[in-house]
Chains A and B, each alone.
Chain A
Amino acid sequence: MIELIAQNPILAALVALVGLSILFGALLGFAAEKFKVVGDPIVEQIDELLPQTQCGQCGFPGCRPYAESIAAGDVINKCPPGGQSTINAIANLLDVPAPELDAEHGVESEVKTVAYIREDECIGCTKCIQACPVDAILGAAKLMHTVITDECTGCDLCVEPCPVDCIDMLPVAETIADWKWSIPAKPGQMIASDRRGELSPATHNEGAA
């Protein structure tokens, strides 16, 4: 048999290649079963980086569906509450370039906001309670509703359903406790200073009120 194959070069080539293919195919098939991957852990890691406001501004009903979409190849710049820092973090994770936030989905607001219900006007309809994704509104039917400010993420999903439009998004004031330095201007660029004749203010105040 070997002699037959050895003598007939075309047959030999055929047998050799087909044989190798079958062998490797079998090995790979076995490996495919052994190394089967269930689910997508990438989604978890992306979800960790998203801000969890569940606001829907990205077009998906929540942060996890957007994470799943990113894992499936969607662009990463759709999340305004996360802002540029979240885009950079996801870009870092997935080793892709970090684009600018897509203005179509909203702009990154400088100030954090929380919801506030004007209790005089509240009619107790519970529509906002049903809308809140983190259960940050306290209340019951025909009873007063109020927002627990510590739990409110500022997603403003409650503003729409309110029939009497009594919910405001108020900015959270910056306190001394959460004030932080801003990064200095890049070296090589002139820094405006020169104010002779008066006490110069702290020179790094770009972010402070």
Chain B
Amino acid sequence: MSRTWVTPGGVHPPENKHQSVTLPIGQLPIPEKLVIPLSQHIGAPATPCVEMGQQVLKGQVIAQAVGMVSIPMHAPSSGTISAIEHRPIAHSSGMLAPCIEITTDGADTWIEHQGISDYEHISPRKLLEMVGNAGISGMGGAGFPSAVKLNPGRQRPIDTLIVNATECEPYITADDSAIRERAGEIVEGIKILSAILDHPTNIMIGIEDNKPEAIAALAPHVEDSGISVVVFPTKYPSGGEKQLIYILTGKELPAGKLPADEGMVCINIGTTFAIKRAVIDGEPLISRVTTVTGDAVGTPRNYDTLIGTPVRHLLEHNQFDEQAGGRVVMGGPMMGFTLPSADVPIVKTTNCILAPSYAEIPDDEPAQPCIRCGMCAEACPVSLLPQQLFWYAQAEEHDRLEAHNLFDCIECGACSYVCPSNIPLVQYYRAAKGDIRQAREEKVKSDHARDRFEFHKERIEQAEREKEAKRAARREATQQAKADHLAATANGTATPAPASGSGTGTAAPSAAPSSSAADIIAAAQARAAAKQANPEDQRAKLERTIASAEQRLKMAEEKLAEAVNSDNGKQDKLSAAVENTRQKLEQSKSKLAELAE
């Protein structure tokens, strides 16, 4: 037996798993409608590739993956596409998301499909393609596209494959039942994984000691296969990726690093079954084992559920007593969330539907003030300081939160479980994480806006400078022309005035020998010069400028007064504009004063 390590912290809630393993995995009748959300995974949502009214067969692709980190969706049963629109999904926000609805025809006709039995001699790339095309994502809860996870690249060779059969959360027995009944196929799936990852030296199935039947079921299949079943003591939350890696290998994953960076890959045992079905039988991921349990359902058991089955369908077929319990939870009692309604569909990551009675899981008691007992720090499996995180989350001190490693929190709920004051600690951490992420995004946006503003300012200044330069060059050119013309007339010759040497492409007088052209220019020059030289005219011009500026200032001030009176919130912008106009007025006035000297 391999050595195991013990994670810090952790709690031992009552397991409540015995209720749902008395019966084998059941089959439900096909629901009338299946609602398949386009985003059941981490990464870009899939895009539909079917149309309304289209007939689809079981296993047919109905939505395609978009980009690298994405998976396709398949029809879980044959029928007609009856809607492609936003529908309620299982998300704590209660918001809608794009879904494809299929009205089933009951025939459950499979599309033509075929797998390969000789996976050892297929290239890993082809195997990965099959896994990707089958729409497989992590079924343990996170939903990361498996084809991407199993392809860490040549820079990161994998020497350890860990299969996660821990299922540490109370009530959930989906993986347990699956192992008991499908051990052979699961081990085959693990062998396929090994082929994909180029045969890592260490292959371990990590399982808790509260599943003796599953361990016994695996034993004959793993004999002489190089796969070892490592049993360790039950504790919540041992099933977290980082926790399991520590238990099985003693290695602590640094913050921000992936297991692949340390040469390890961790896959849920349900996913290995899906991979086997995809590669050997050619079947895409269209169903999964879901536990339906809790005192409010008549018969707790596991079902092989089609993806997209409404939760209501599951509950109806289990004598769900709505009055007995206050809520329906998707997931377990520690990390699951209360469903906004029973009309949401099962997705690829749904391992349990829990309908507890009031006696089983009472409504939340009101939180009481923190008494600083420190039990939360004892329970934390990541060795964080939940008490400090709680206080800083309340005070919204983001830098202190990050200094206490808020983002290493796995939101397992062990701290909230032990808190004697019933404080919903994990909610604080989730809110704080959301706030910090939002602040980071806003900082990126505002930095970008600042760059654009700086560029805008520079562009305007550049345009001004160019205009000035052109004006200066033009003035110089005409001066030169005038000087040449004077020289020409002084000499009494009609030598053509050559183009002046300013190279800015301004309208230099052409090299035409006709003195009439030069004459006209000279005359215009003379007029302009006369105007320039004449202080009277200059003063008049400035006075006109001042008059119009004063007019503008008056209008701006009126607007400002009106804004102040009506208090329409524009005072500050208008007062800024008034300032601007006033400054221009001052400038003209000072120029006039200069002239007067």
Contacts and interface: CB of A to CB of B under 8 A. Distances in A.
Contact between A and B in the complex (any CB pair below 8 Å):
yes
A188 B370 CA distance: 9
B550 interface: no
Contacts of B3: none
Interface stretch (B338-346, B381-389, B474-482): B338-346
Contact of B368 (A104, A133, A187): A187
Contact of B340 (A132, A202, A209): A202
Interface of B: 91-95, 97, 322-323, 326-328, 337-342, 358, 363-364, 366-370, 393-394, 396, 421, 423-424, 427-428, 430-432, 434-435, 437-439, 442, 445-447, 449-450, 452-453, 455-456, 459, 569-573, 575-576, 579-580
A79 B326 CA distance: 45
A209 B96 CA distance: 11
A159 B364 CA distance: 49
Interface stretch (A32-40, A47-55, A117-125): A47-55
A134 B340 contact: no
Contacts of A182: 431
A200 B92 CA distance: 12
Given A153-B445, A183-B432, 18 more contacts: A58-B572, A59-B572, A85-B439, A133-B456, A180-B434, A181-B430, A181-B431, A183-B394, A183-B427, A184-B367, A187-B367, A187-B369, A191-B366, A199-B322, A199-B326, A200-B327, A203-B338, A205-B94
Interface in A127-147: 132-136
B442 A51 contact: yes
Contact of B394 (A47, A186, A189, A202): A186
Given A59-B572, A180-B437, A52 B430 contact: no
A176 B97 contact: yes
B573 A157 contact: yes
Contacts of A199: 322, 326-328, 338-342
A208 B341 CA distance: 16
Most buried by B among A50, A185, A188: A188
A167 to B, nearest CB: 15
Contacts of A51: 442, 446, 449
Contacts of A200: 326-327, 338, 363
A202 B573 contact: no
A179 B428 contact: no
Contacts of A57: 569, 572-573
Contacts of A54: 449, 453
A208 B94 contact: yes
Interface in A2-58: 47, 50-58
Contacts of A50: 446
Interface string A187-202: 1111101111111111
Contacts of B569: 57, 106
27 contacts: A52-B446, A52-B447, A54-B449, A54-B453, A55-B573, A88-B396, A106-B569, A135-B452, A135-B459, A153-B445, A160-B573, A176-B93, A179-B91, A180-B434, A181-B434, A183-B432, A184-B424, A184-B427, A185-B367, A187-B367, A188-B367, A197-B323, A198-B322, A201-B94, A202-B92, A204-B92, A205-B94
A59 B450 contact: no
A196 B368 contact: no
A180 to B, nearest CB: 3
A185 B394 CA distance: 10
Contacts of A193: 363-364
Most buried by B among A85, A183, A195, A196: A183
Contacts of A132: 456
Contacts of B434: 180-181
State the 7 A-B residue pairs at the shortest beta-carbon distance, nearest first: A180-B434, A187-B367, A134-B452, A59-B572, A52-B449, A183-B431, A52-B446
Contacts of B341: 199
A151 interface: yes
Contacts of A157: 573
A189 B421 CA distance: 12
B92 A181 contact: yes
A196 B439 CA distance: 38
A56 B456 contact: no
Given A58-B572, A182-B431, A63 B368 contact: no
B446 A202 contact: no
B538 to A, nearest CB: 30
Contacts of B432: 183
Interface string A46-88: 0100111111111111110000000000000000000001001
A194 B456 CA distance: 56
B456 A208 contact: no
A188 B394 CA distance: 13
B424 to A, nearest CB: 5
Nearest to B423: A187
